Chain A
């Protein structure tokens, strides 16, 4: 694979075909946990780790799986990887488990992991599959953090509250109080608020995409020789 193709993978993951904003997948964990930016970050990172593991395994065994049984095979593998990760973190990283424990079980509900396994990893070699997992994971993480931040700032007036519980003491600087003594707004913290925040983000993405498209068109018609720059 050329570097241009890897560039494409990352562009897809982070923006064009973003899990939450482009493919509209993984809405269950997205709506459930993004009441704070910290929760969004935890969920995003945990999902990314699982996605990298499952994409790697599935692209390694893609040669022996037949299309007829691929769906149950992929489901069994994802469920087991999530269970094993859950047990491993509980046993060897118990501090982290007390913070992340809630998210890990929720990853099973993330259809994006299945989606990437099915549409990318089962057709591509190991390295591009890892790159795809990384790109999709990062893309999912930033949307979760953005939705979480919007809901948290409007709903509770803080940003990255309890970040030190997730990331350790030296990330305590992330915790900011935007509006002191704020009694809170309920709507953003409830699931409808998550839909609104996500809808808002998608609208912004559409506007930017349209602007880029019209600009490209304009520059192509006026400067046909430089269209590849």
Chain B
């Protein structure tokens, strides 16, 4: 063990304040540097993840455009507090479906998911992008952990009634998980609201002229 004998100037308030301030300064410089260095890479990963997700939720034969480039952002507080990003799929310049990037509150935080829909409003796929749910209990919403998320495929507002859009515990159609009801419940609710959102904005997306809310990325 080495105990360094502390010189007397170290007992002064100025030294201690300076030390604390200096370390905070150094550390914030490091954090800023780290952020500048990693931010573009992290953003790139997020875009790549979106492309990968898009391929999973919208069948490739459904579109021939680049839906990520033709995205719109719409905020509709009737359904979601956060803005919804819509990737519009077109085939031969004809509207053929969309993928909605939705954030909905879960049990441990925001659940972000992508909802693929064809022109008739039928679900072609759902995947969770990010979530903060309990690992081991509620992370079965991820496809890597469980097939649960596939139970939404083919559902729509017309083939599943409003009452059926609930977990089995609430007399609905969809399974809950052992030990986690809130997460599947909020997923079912989020997807149901996503469908309603799609229904009310469907026509605007359908028009060939770009909407006012358009933001190309």
Contact = CB atoms under 8 A, between A and B. Distances in A.
A178 interface: no
B1 A124 contact: yes
A76 B24 contact: yes
Interface in B18-56: 19-20, 23-24, 27, 30-31, 34-35, 37-38, 41-42, 45
A36 B30 contact: no
B110 to A, nearest CB: 14
Nearest to B43: A91
Given A87-B38, A90-B38, A124-B1, A186 B179 contact: yes
Contacts of A69: 16, 19-20
Interface in A38-95: 39, 62-66, 68-69, 72-73, 76-77, 80, 83-84, 87-88, 90-92, 94
Interface in B37-96: 37-38, 41-42, 45
Contacts of A123: 1-3
A66 B144 CA distance: 49
A170 B196 CA distance: 44
> Could you say which of A39, A77, A94 has the most chain B C-beta atoms within 10 Å of its C-beta?
A94
Contacts of B20: 69, 72-73
A80 B27 contact: yes
A94 B45 contact: yes
B35 A87 contact: yes
A88 B30 CA distance: 12
B2 A124 contact: yes
A33 interface: yes
Nearest to A65: B19
Given A63-B4, A66-B6, A184-B178, A84 B34 contact: yes
Nearest to A187: B179
A162 B137 contact: no
A84 B23 contact: no
A68 B20 CA distance: 10
Contacts of B137: 35, 189-190
Given A92-B38, A102-B135, 20 more contacts: A36-B136, A39-B136, A63-B4, A64-B19, A66-B16, A66-B19, A73-B20, A76-B23, A76-B24, A76-B27, A77-B23, A87-B38, A90-B42, A90-B45, A91-B41, A94-B45, A123-B2, A124-B2, A152-B136, A189-B179
11 contacts: A63-B4, A80-B27, A80-B31, A88-B34, A88-B38, A123-B3, A162-B145, A186-B178, A186-B179, A189-B178, A190-B179
